[in-house]
Structure 1
Amino acid sequence: MSKQILLNAFNMNCVGHIHHGLWTHPRDQSTEFNSLSYWTDLAKLLERGLFDGLFIADILGVYDVYGSGINLPLQEAIQLPVNDPLLLVSAMAGVTQHLGFGVTANLSYEAPYIFARRLSTLDHLTDGRIGWNIVTGYLDSAAKAMGLSQQVEHDRRYDQADEYLEVLYKLLEGSWQDDAVLADRGRRIYAQPGKVRKVRHHGEFYQVDGYHLSQPSPQRTPLLFQAGSSARGSRFAGQHAECVFIGGNGVEAVRSEVDKVRASALSAGREADAIKVFMGIGVIVAPTEAEARGKHAEYLRYASPEAGIAHFSSSTGIDLAAFGLDEPLQARKTNAIESVVKTFSGWTKRRLLEQHALGSRYPLVIGSPSQVADQLIAWIDATGLDGFNLTRIVTPESYADFIELVIPELQQRGRYKTAYSGGALRHKLFGNGPRLPANHPGAAWRDPARLQHDTTGYHNLRGLSANALSLL
């Protein structure tokens, strides 16, 4: 049976997200992002299209590398202004029943004890439809705004992230037993004291001595997304992630990235298919190819390639404003996104501007419904991808066109679901219930004895198989 395609809408709580400059298009509504109805209408639209989720990106800090300032980011709304993504979820969950929500939150600047409660609250309010995109940040501007002199070194951020996840697992998976809550009015017992355990964690980065504040939510731990593809990021993904978001730079490169993700899971003692892999992609579709090409030409008139490479500059930590058009980009050590620096080493500014013609470096699919379906299926079958994060080009037009024209074509070919399955977000994607699977390292903290006697133990669990974990 052919693999069915998973699909997230890729968005951000801001004006300009990926395809920079398109906010100026007369049909684009992204300047309404401060309005609650903008988001609730989008959620309802996506659920009509049976999207698996709405993946909401986020950044802390500003893109101030290009030209050593924020003039262009302000003029072109290059992810500035940007609002909190988590605060959108409750309203969107209230107007939908099945749509999942993947929210990005930077762990570097928020205590895990507080963040654990926010995740549990959202998991309760969405009936188990929340996911967390784990990021450590890559902007010096954020570090300085948070009181640091500069960004923490790349691999060191992942060391901190490992311990952050350890604390979260202890709180979310271990602090409350499943049967802790009785809600027994007659006996005046809401929660049983003997079923709620204190978390005592004394590590390198975090010190916690307290109880998780929320009772067990449908998923306990939210579905875990991650997007790092450096060597250290891949190791982190293999240990923790359930969904990984990768970039696309040709079939061979994507297949290699997918294989690397599968290998990282195996190296961590998990199954190769324990991680779903999504690629970011843009789609321009119309009833005929000629109409789609015409729409593409129309969109190009509003796009800002310069804004696109200003975004790119902050992704690499290299000021492209200082480069001549034909001066090659040289890979060098930065604390930004390591994989992006390596991938585009040797490219010239002219080539980057051409690549960013639509304000973005994301792969673009253009054509009739059958042509778009052909290309999406080809990506899946040739690379081993599980699905896509579909960018907005003109919003909500890009999503509405896809739902009206491409979804029926994929359904007709048996490559896209015709109805939602029941259950939590994790169950919808993996079919094995709402909780972390037993071979995920976070599940080890469900053992009351383990939580009681080990204050720093997760670092010692790295690389152990599921069988070894079960013996602890």
Structure 2
Amino acid sequence: MAAQKKQILLNAFNMACVGHINHGLWTHPRDRSSAYNTLGYWTDQAKLLERGLFDGLFIADIIGVYDVYGDGIDVTAREAVQLPVNDPTVMITAMAAVTEHLGFGVTINVHQEAPYTFARRLSTLDHLTGGRIGWNIVTGYLDSAHRAQSGGTLPAHDRRYDYADEYLEVLYRLWEGSWDDAAMRRDRAARVFSDPAHIRKVAHRGEFFAVDGYHLSEPSPQRTPVLYQAGASGRGRAFAGRHAECVFISARDTATARESVRAIRAEAVAAGRNPDDVKVFVGLAVIPGRTRAEAEAKRDEYLSYASPEAGLAHFSASTGIDFARYGLDEAIPYAPGNAIQSATAAAAKRGLTK
């Protein structure tokens, strides 16, 4: 029996900043990313992606700064390494207004906002996009974000996922349980816009959250938006197996990708779900050309504008290791830390030096 063909889903990957992933390319004469703070930049991009039949635009975000490398932001600021960075949610409605089919996956940290008001934010976006919104759930990995918000330090890695589990529990109850579909009457003659008999208060008291109130939004097209997740640690995969519909992974080769996909789908099964309920997106930088030689020439041109030190500043934040302290070929003592554990483990496995 022939294997069933699967449809490839394509997301573009961007961020509300100048220097997202390929650091240094903002200096290329054809680069437009410095216009990131104009509405036309985003609406033009949305129309281009829809014309190119992309399924969605995935928007990354952070709520801290990359200040590990050199114990400061000198390189981060000079090279625009995800700084400055704007709120990723604000331009989504404008992009939705100029498209019909393009989906939007937006990254928002669970530590950024209380679940009660966040539930309304996502319901509003779901209404205004006509059900085209997705949420990339992140637990954060930057000490700088916690210092800026509360003066505190970043909670332990696995503890952040415990917090996120309860955060989702509250959201599910608000999105799915507070309003029945029958609540929406819109009956002018009877003067009943929504029927209170079909609206319930959510009462939750847990370890991290206490909620006693009604969801502020009427049921949106999806109620719960499409849920993305990108954690590749053991605890992150368990969280994805329980909650995520889409998982973003990074893999250098097919063997690594295969291993990651199997692990994620095994966690979905352990959570009582169908393994195929989880769609996996692999991060790729694609350089097109009419011939291989043309594509390679483009790649070489782009690399000539790249900033290796900016890349180090980014990777230092990802691992929690200040690479400015090491020589080019000096061995680096990798150890499990409190930042992105999968990034540290991958570097340790390959024995990467600066």
Which of residues 66, 70, 82 is equivalent to 1:67?
70
Give the aligned partner of residue 61 of structure 2. Answer: 58
CA distance in 1, matches of 2:151, 2:332: 28
Paired letter, 2:108:
A
Which of residues 135, 141, 144 is equivalent to 2:144?
141
Q: Is contact 1:325–1:348 with CA below 8 Å preserved after alignment?
A: no
CA distance in 1, matches of 2:58, 2:139: 17
CA distance in 2, matches of 1:320, 1:266: 39
CA distance in 2, matches of 1:100, 1:293: 31
1:250 Cα shift? 1.7
Cα deviations across residues 28-50 of structure 1 (Å, max 9, x unaligned)? 00000001000000000000011
Q: Is contact 1:32–1:38 with CA below 8 Å preserved after alignment?
A: yes
1:202 aligns with 2:177: no
Cα deviations across residues 295-323 of structure 1 (Å, max 9, x unaligned)? 11111110111111210110000001111
1:240 aligns with 2:243: yes
Which of residues 163, 168, 172 is equivalent to 1:169?
172
Give the aligned partner of residue 37 of structure 2. Answer: 34
1:159 Cα shift? 0.3
TM-score between both structures, scaled by the size of structure 2? 0.97
CA distance in 2, matches of 1:301, 1:342: 29
Give the aligned partner of residue 348 of structure 1. Answer: 352
* Secondary structure, aligned partner of 1:182: strand
Which of residues 251, 270, 274 is equivalent to 2:273?
270
RMSD, matched Cα? 0.9
Give the aligned partner of residue 306 of structure 1. Answer: 309
1:130 Cα shift? 0.1
Cα deviations across residues 307-349 of structure 1 (Å, max 9, x unaligned)? 1121011000000111111122332132100111111115333
Q: Is contact 1:238–1:265 with CA below 8 Å preserved after alignment?
A: yes
Q: Is contact 2:23–2:310 with CA below 8 Å preserved after alignment?
A: yes
> Kindly, what percent of the aligned residue pairs are identical?
64
5+ residue gaps, structure 2, are: none
Give the aligned partner of residue 9 of structure 2. Answer: 6
CA distance in 2, matches of 1:319, 1:154: 19
1:149 Cα shift? 2.6
Give the aligned partner of residue 188 of structure 2. Answer: 185
Paired letter, 2:351:
W
Paired letter, 1:141:
S
1:176 Cα shift? 0.2
1:183 Cα shift? 0.1
Alignment length (residue pairs): 350
Paired letter, 1:214:
S
CA distance in 1, matches of 2:352, 2:123: 46
Give the aligned partner of residue 162 of structure 2. Answer: 159
Q: Is contact 1:327–1:348 with CA below 8 Å preserved after alignment?
A: no
Paired letter, 1:227:
A
Paired letter, 1:57:
A
5+ residue gaps, structure 1, are: 351-472
CA distance in 1, matches of 2:312, 2:353: 8
Paired letter, 2:13:
F
1:210 Cα shift? 0.2
Q: Is contact 1:284–1:296 with CA below 8 Å preserved after alignment?
A: yes
* Secondary structure, aligned partner of 2:130: coil
Cα deviations across residues 18-68 of structure 1 (Å, max 9, x unaligned)? 000000000000000001000000000000011110000000100000000
Q: Which 4+ residue blocks in structure 1 deviate beyond 6 angstroms?
A: none
Cα deviations across residues 376-397 of structure 1 (Å, max 9, x unaligned)? xxxxxxxxxxxxxxxxxxxxxx
CA distance in 1, matches of 2:6, 2:173: 35
* Secondary structure, aligned partner of 1:173: helix
CA distance in 1, matches of 2:240, 2:224: 16
Paired letter, 1:184:
D
Give the aligned partner of residue 131 of structure 1. Answer: 134
CA distance in 1, matches of 2:222, 2:160: 26
Give the aligned partner of residue 258 of structure 1. Answer: 261
CA distance in 2, matches of 1:325, 1:41: 41
Range 62-71 or range 332-341, more displaced: 332-341
Q: Is contact 2:42–2:95 with CA below 8 Å preserved after alignment?
A: yes
Paired letter, 2:201:
K
1:204-223 alignment runs, 5 A limit: 204-223=207-226
